[in-house]
Amino acid sequence: MKTSTLKRILRYVGRYPISLAGSLLFSVATVAATLFVPVLFGDAIDCIMEKVVAWSSLQAIFLKILLAVGVAAVSQWLTSVCNNRISCNVVRDIRKDAFDKIGALPLSYIDTHSHGDTVSRVIADADQFSDGLLMGFTQFFTGLMTILGTIAFMIATNPKIGVIVVLVTPASLFVAKFLATHTHKYFQEQTRARGEQTAFTEEAISGMKTVQAFAHEDENAEKFDEINARLEKATMNATFYSSLTNPCTRVINNLVYALVALVGAFDVVNGVFTVGGLTKFLSYANQYTKPFNEISGVITELKSAFVCAGRIFELIDEKEEISDKDNAVLERAQGNITLQSVAFSYTPDKPLIEGLSLDVKKGQRIAIVGRTGAGKTTLINLLMRFYDVDRGQVCVENQDIRGLTRKSLRENYGMVLQETWLKSGTVRENLKLGKPDATDEEMIEACKAAHAHSFIKRMEKGYDTVLGENASLSEGQKQLLCIARIMLTKPPMLILDEATSSIDTRTEHKISDAFAKLMEGRTSFIVAHRLSTIVNADCILVMEKGSVVEQGTHEQLKKAGGAYAALYNGQFV
């Protein structure tokens, strides 16, 4: 277990001093009441051993025992309440920090890390950590106080037996530490395999249509079985070695109990102890050794919990996006965009865009075409500042976008992607995502323009239909909703990345009129593979290997007979 991980956990725990103080206070009360009960039982036995039994004294002792047991029960319940509150709040805070970090991570992290593994860290690892933390608070404090209390009593009552107990019992802790150290690597393997399993399952479910289309079910099952076997092996190893802890410590603790009984019996014979005194001592010896079994189990469980916490902290410690510098807010932009000698690459050893310069005026329609991998989507990522340029500048209204807040920059763009995204919620909530204060009249007008109103009204609850429950939409219908969402916000700049790829040709012709109205007076970037959709663009950029190799109008580029003419003729001739 890393010391840094423990320190960070303690910092989270320290946010709840009242619950922590309550846990400690009620733990002390539980231990005190529990340790007081053997004293009363010993007194009761000595009272019975007298020639004349004092029944009134016995009655008073039994009443004290009932009171002590009641105090112990209530204190233990209150301790559990405080511990549960600490555990739940700490895991909630860690989950919140992890989720907030996901929102602050650069897009490069999301693109290069398994989504399933990230989900596993925030959900499964946090649950495992919560269980270990709760066990630690529930048993560790009470066990430690029980050990200290019983040691104090035994040494004060009979130093000889007390020293024997103190010298022998630490052996159980050494055994527990040895086993916990060797199980740490197995818990690490277990959490890694569980994350990999979650990632593969998420991948398989999201791509099930493709899997079935290529009849790849058997191969997926084999891959899952292989991951599952590794998880099983790691789990069995971790469980096997961690399960040795309790039996090993019990052997040592039973040895302690036997030594106390043997030495104490001789002391009773020699008149040093009463029978009640020996009973108290044996009870304390049993209570003293019991926490060693519990703590050894807690140590093993905490090993697993801290491994899970470490994985969550790895996510929280990931490098965030470069923060907004001057917090300069871009007010509603006019649509003047300039790229000056822009260079960018996803990996340093593979240059993609080199020396790209572009000057776009307000209201221009810029079409971006090119073969797959030419850099079209990369250019969009740079305009939206999903990635920052390596060299050069991207300016909006003569302001370097790296000096503007991302939020204000992106609020000035309306974006419709080829891959649609709709959140869980009603149709109305999805449509008003970018403009929550929009009226229903504005929303319906946008849907009519996007030709989405008719199929929405056919739904069971119309605009109040919850998507994903009783409503199953086609890809084309989802795309129409995304288009309507942008038409509702009416941003000053538009990015349309294959915005009509899932829509039939007839509907596309209808929407093109709405798009034409929407783009009037707005700077628009249109990424298109179907060149028929961009023939009216003010400027067409032809990209190859990250560079603009041609630019001009449709007619100009056709006459030039270059790369654009080859693409166009390939589609229509």
What 3-state class would DSSP assign to 5?
A: helix
Beta bridge partners of 497: 527
Position 548 scores a pLDDT of: 79
Beta-carbon contacts of 499 under 8 Å, excluding residues fewer than 6 positions away, are 416, 417, 418, 479, 482, 483, 515, 526
Task: Output the pTM of the full model.
Answer: 0.65
The phi, psi pair for 300, rounded to 5°, reads: -65, -45
CA distances from 543 to 114, 170, 368 (A): 30, 72, 7
Nearest by Cα to 453 from 443, 461, 466: 443
Strand duo 391-396 + 337-344: pairing: antiparallel
Compute how many other C-beta atoms are within 10 angstroms of the C-beta atom of residue 379: 28
Helix (H, G, I), strand (E, B) or coil at 417: coil
Instruction: Return the number of other C-beta atoms located less than 10 Å from residue 468's C-beta.
Output: 12
- Give, as one character, the DSSP assignment of residue 377: H
Alpha-carbon gap, residue 166 to 175, rounded angstroms: 16
Q: Are 413 and 493 in contact (CB under 8 A)?
A: yes
Contact present, 261 and 282 (Cβ < 8 Å): yes
Question: What is the C-alpha to C-alpha distance for residues 556 and 182, in angstroms, rounded to an integer?
Answer: 72
pLDDT score of 455: 87
Give CA separation, 366 vs 349, 395, 404, in Å: 30, 16, 23
328 burial level (CB within 10 Å; 0-12, 13-18, 19+): middle
Helix (H, G, I), strand (E, B) or coil at 118: helix
Which residue type is seen at 568? Y
Q: What is the pLDDT of residue 318?
A: 83
- Residue 98: CB partners within 8 Å, gap ≥ 6? 121, 122, 126, 312, 315, 316
Q: From CA 316, how far away is CA 122, in angstroms rounded?
A: 10
**Number of Cβ atoms within 10 Å of the Cβ of 322:** 11
Query: What value, to the nearest 5°, has the Cα angle with vertex 549 and ends 547 and 553?
Result: 125
Which residues lie below 8 Å from residue 354, measured CB to CB, with a gap of 6+?
Answer: 343, 546, 547
Using left for φ > 0, alpha for ψ between -120 and 50, and beta otherwise, residue 272 falls in alpha
Give me the residues paired with residue 365 across strands: 524
Residue 298 pairs in a beta bridge with none
Domains in the chain: ranges and CATH: 3-187+238-316 (1.20.1560.10), 337-572 (3.40.50.300)
> What percentage of the chain has pLDDT greater than the value 70?
88
- 109, 375, 422, 494, 497 from 419: Cα distances, Å: 19, 17, 10, 16, 9
Strand ordering across the sheet containing 399-400: 353-360, 337-344, 391-396, 399-400
Burial class of 233 by CB neighbour count within 10 A (0 to 12, 13 to 18, 19+) = middle
Ranges of residues in the chain with a pLDDT under 70 are 1-3, 49-54, 170, 172-173, 176-177, 180-181, 209, 246, 271-273, 292-297, 299-300, 323-327, 468-471, 499-503, 507, 510-511, 513-514, 571-573
| Residue 373 backbone zone (phi > 0: left; psi -120 to 50: alpha; other: beta) | left
Considering only CA atoms, give the Rg of the chain: 35
Structural contact between residues 105 and 24, judged by C-beta atoms closer than 8 angstroms = no
In the numeric block, which tokens belong to residue 385? 């500042």
User: What's residue 117's pLDDT?
Assistant: 79
- The full length of the chain comes to 573
Q: What is the DSSP string of 357-376?
A: EEEE-TT-EEEEEESTTSSH
pLDDT of 74: 93
Beta bridge partners of 413: 493
- pLDDT tens per residue, range 209-225: 677 777 778 888 888 88
Any bridge partners for residue 245, and if so which?
none
CB neighbours of 69 closer than 8 A, spacing ≥ 6?
A: 33, 37
Consecutive H or E run containing 421: none
Helix, strand, coil percentages (3-state) for the chain, rounded to 5, are 65, 10, 20
Beta carbons of 138 and 84 less than 8 angstroms apart: no
What pLDDT is stored for residue 325 in this prediction? 65
Predicted pLDDT of residue 499: 67
**Enclosing H/E stretch for 269:** helix 245-269
The whole-angstrom separation of Cα 187 and Cα 300 is: 10
Instruction: Say if CB 353 and CB 391 are below 8 A apart.
Output: no
Angle between helices 275-316 and 17-49 (to 10 degrees): 160
Identify the pLDDT of residue 536.
79
Q: What is the pLDDT of residues 534-550, one digit of tens each?
A: 777 888 888 887 777 88
Asked if 288 and 35 touch (Cβ cutoff 8 Å), the reply is no
Calculate the dihedral angle through the C-alpha atoms of 496, 499, 500, 503, rounding to the nearest 10 degrees: -160
526-538 burial, b at 16+ Cβ within 10 Å, e below that, comes to bbbbebebbeebe
